[in-house]
Structure 1
Amino acid sequence: MTRPLTKRSLLKAAGWASIAATAALVGCGKKEATPDAASAASTPAATASVAAAAPAGPLLIAFAYVGPVGDAGWTYAHDQARLALEKEYGDKIKTSFVEKVPEGPDAERVLRDMVSQGNKLIFGTTFGYMEPMLKVAADHKDVKFEHGTGYKTAENMRTYDSRTYEGAYMAGVIAGGMTKSNTLGVVGSIPIPEVIRNINAFTLGAQSVNPKVKTKVVWINNWFDPPKETEGAQSLLNQGADVLFQNTDSSAVLQTAEKAGKYAFGWDSDMSKFGPKAHLGSAIINWAPYYIKATKDALEGTWTTGGVWWGVKEGAIDLVSLSDKVPADLKAKVDTIKAGLKDGSFVIWKGPIVGQDGKEVLAKDAVADDKFLGGINFYVKGVDGAVPSSK
């Protein structure tokens, strides 16, 4: 069962007290009364008796989304996984979500409200929630927090991520074989290692089939901003790019390519319907396997802190809905790479790899570890321009 929430109702309260007071009016309208914490703590025998007399209710799970559920990309993919989670566990759980939660102070207010509503497992689905989640987690040790794409943990907060660079690399293979101008374009969101890594992987994939490829990048400094995404895509087309890629959350880049008669990819979810003529394939994330595992851990009492980074091997990453325009040999190459990523026989980040300044960043036959990948702040050879500061 889903308890829909709205960001507006959470944020217009003047302080924590009023947020807590109105929480019961959000979404379902009602929630079952819970014993007063102080009273329960002072009468453990009575609490045990109540617990024994009444069966435990469903596990309440909340999701904080940075974009709208209908973005067709990042947030949409997370919400599809939430729905799969409900299907998997039925009445053992109740889920809710708040969409369009900005990274920063607003996130902390929303997270605290989620706790006040009785949620015991909370997923924060974007990098910028890291510090707010740490603060809230420190104050609520009885709640389990899951932070998507972050790197900081606590005793009741762990991290999870997907190896999106694997999808980016496979898309690059297609792009490198389809480009006529040998110029590819990427609309970047925010210049953090995750995004820079994806740009590099896309370029490396393209160069594996076409060494002449160059990649141009336009940054919009936002995850979801369709007008800016459109503007960035058009700028890349004006610079000669004939295949576009993105690390942003809407379908605007694909739609811009469609109007211009060029090619592009979907990102995070299958976007083929938004630009069927332009669409070459979609690099998707399937969050469902992880959400099902994390919930299982919470339900069974086996949840522990730490972090995971899942990819093709775990069923979290794929390149889907390849266009009929893509030649059979390119499709076969992608299939081989996908199989290799699944069984470990293919490695994307294997040297020699050279930075755009010509210096070797990974020696011949060396394989990058996750620490290396997590700290990437450089462009590989073939990417134009300088990496901007993320500050």
Structure 2
Amino acid sequence: MSTEFLKVARAAREAAAELAPLPRAPKDRALRGLADALVAHAAEIVEANAEDVERARAQGTSEAMIDRLRLDEARVSAIAEAVRQVADLPDPVGEVVRGSTLPNGLELRQLRVPLGVIGIIYEGRPNVTVDAAVLCLKSGNAVLLRGSSSAYSSNTALVRIMQDALEGTEVPSGAVQLVPGQTRDSVKELMRARGLVDVLIPRGGASLINSVVEESTVPVIETGVGNCHVYVDAEADLDLAVQILVNAKAQRPSVCNAAETLLVHADVADAFVPKALEALAEAGVTVHGDARIAGYGEVVPATEDDFYAEYLSLDIAAAVVGSLEEAVAHIRRYGSAHTEAIVTRSQKAARRFVSLVDSAAVAVNASTRFTDGGEFGFGAEIGISTQKLHSRGPMGLPELTSTKWVYTGEGHLRTSEGTVVAG
């Protein structure tokens, strides 16, 4: 590993040990001071961001992507307000998850503790630099940030301002570190930093997440890829189904909880599909339909790849299925285990769907767009985990912790005959 990487990784490791035992109050004070510093240095942040925007435009980056990259003073103020909201959230560290007194008299508790050093690999938006940092700090973790090279100037300025704001507080400034370098070598160093980094969280598209999962020696929590489905059951309220479908697809198509596939039970296809095609067309959505969907209107013929796609655009794949079980089989084959929705008036069908679908979230008569930490009442989130180990679904502050077991006795000794109490 390079000297530069080892320097920041070791600094984060040392800071994590100092940060872990801090109670809530000094962390909250530090976060509020950090929010104030972002506002005070907004002009400096915007100036650095302008370098990134200019470079992106010169490279032919689309205006949609440039808008995701761009910061102005209003956006900086919104980022600072988000920091204050994190400061107001409950601190998960020290929470008793389980506790009991054992038959031998030992008092047993399972406590939430920080993970340690968290590496975040992410694309595009520089606001993630602040979001990720403050969520890690609040949960008692140090963070190594490796953002997109397209936002390098913005990220450098943001990390420097956050570090300066932490100086003089009880939160060590070394708890927030920017991974040096803009090449893939720096990403590899972070992925191979087992022993210095406790967990990696990639945020971005499928190619980024797959690359980190396949190449990292550090444990990885997968987040974000969302091939979400809306299944319209044989007993659905069809008008309600149209509203849910359009909201799930078109309300904000570029996010991971937007719907990417529509499945319609054959018994209601004649009544529902024409309505759905008309509503989707009005919303500007292009439908990639199977042969049965194509029989109801003009669509783009769907390929196998369409049903695997996370479009993140105003496109949706669509198919007619013969049963709820066929819908579930389709989801198991093509889905990403993010969020699936059923629209039905049948409690039996809803229960069956919920029990059979193996995804991080299942919606019954509701849009997929609600799979979100804020909407679930968790406050901010670091991402949405689509795997099963450690955490699943929206990852708020508690999901950025592990646990430790503490047991307290009065001189308890374990012997071959059982427990004895010394003295």
TM-score normalized by the length of structure 1: 0.30
Q: Which has the larger radius of gyration?
A: 2
Relative contact order, higher structure (CA 8 A, sep 6+): 2
State the TM-score, normalized to the length of structure 2: 0.29
